[in-house]
Amino acid sequence: MRLLVTRPEEDAAALASVLAARGHEVVMSPVMSIRFLDEAEFPQRVWQALLVTSANGARALARRREAAALKNLPVLAIGPATAQAMADAGFRRIEAAGGDVETLAALACLRLSPDGGPLLHAAGSVVAGDLKAALTAQGFEIERAVLYEAVASDALPGAAHRALAENRADGILLYSPRTARIFVSLARAAGLEAALAGITAYCLSPAVADALENTAFLTVKIAEQPEQAALLALLDG
């Protein structure tokens, strides 16, 4: 299949290789770019553990000189890809949740104690789900360090525009509700919404699929679990 990959370039290269190995043709179609906030304030406290909700959060944390003093702390990552990014950054005590905020909060409640000290959440300027509210309700103190922002594109990438305009796309991979909303908005602005009726949207979670409400995709398929392996399994169906 010819598949549109909407992830930022930082995340798309490895995915493109996996798709190519499965025999798919990849159309790189990022609708957001990552800007690291290297000068942002970094909270200084005695942390019980680190919570990381994206691979870009891991990369942003790794860029900070403050990270060197944190590498022996327990790390709870939202999923396997984020856990790998933390390992690549030199962190050692890492455990992955099931791919969403709910399973990350549950893992934190299982592994950590509200009395053990505050938690540091390395995150972007926009977050999916309310991790802080979920853990505060369980008695934890959690502080969010905004270390990067994902900036929406102002136009559909040229490769995606051509693929849709020429009816040469079979599907699109969507990893977040925000990505889904941005892509649909850009397709509409380009006058290409009708072209979506010919392709399948492969969604990482029900929340991503919900963001496609009132769009005319040929089919919307949802991964059984909010993780890349489950999303890729949809392509074999």
Distance from C-alpha of 12 to C-alpha of 237, rounded to nearest angstrom: 22
Give the pTM: 0.85
Q: Of 7-16, 35-44, 123-132, 195-204, where does mean pLDDT reach its minimum?
A: 123-132
Is residue 128 over pLDDT 80?
Answer: no
Same domain, residue pair 166 and 221? yes
Distance from C-alpha of 83 to C-alpha of 86, rounded to nearest angstrom: 5
| Residues of the domain holding 183 | 2-31+153-234
Task: Provide the pLDDT for residue 97.
Answer: 95
- 25-40: pLDDT as tens digits: 999 999 999 999 999 9
**Mean pLDDT, range 50-72, rounded to an integer:** 95
Q: Give the torsion through C-alpha atoms of 109, 120, 98, 36, to 10 deg.
A: 170
Q: Give the distance, in angstroms, between the CA of residue 3 and the centroid of all CA atoms in the same chain.
A: 18
- 80-111: pLDDT as tens digits: 989 999 999 999 999 999 888 999 999 999 99
Task: Provide the pLDDT for residue 212.
Answer: 94
Closest C-alpha among 104, 95, 96, 38 to residue 67: 38
Q: Which of 150, 181, 207 is the last residue of a domain?
A: 150
Identify the residue whose tokens are 């679990």.
Answer: 225
Is residue 188 over pLDDT 80?
Answer: yes
Same domain, residue pair 208 and 181? yes
Q: Give the distance, in angstroms, between the CA of residue 40 and the centroid of all CA atoms in the same chain.
A: 21
Same domain, residue pair 109 and 201? no
Strand 2-5 versus strand 25-28 pairing type:
parallel
Same domain, residue pair 82 and 97? yes
Strand 200-203 versus strand 219-222 pairing type:
parallel
Same domain, residue pair 186 and 221? yes
- Measure CA of the first residue to CA of the last residue in the chain; give whole Å: 12
Is residue 65 over pLDDT 80?
Answer: yes
Q: Which of 150, 168, 197 is the last residue of a domain?
A: 150
Is residue 7 over pLDDT 90?
Answer: yes
Sheet with strand 171-174: strands edge to edge: 25-28, 2-5, 171-174, 200-203, 219-222
- 163-186: pLDDT as tens digits: 999 999 999 999 999 999 999 999
**193 exposure class (CB count in 10 Å sphere: 0-12, 13-18, 19+):** middle
Burial of 79-104, coded b for 16+ CB within 10 Å and e otherwise, reads bbbbbbbbeebebeebebbebbbebb
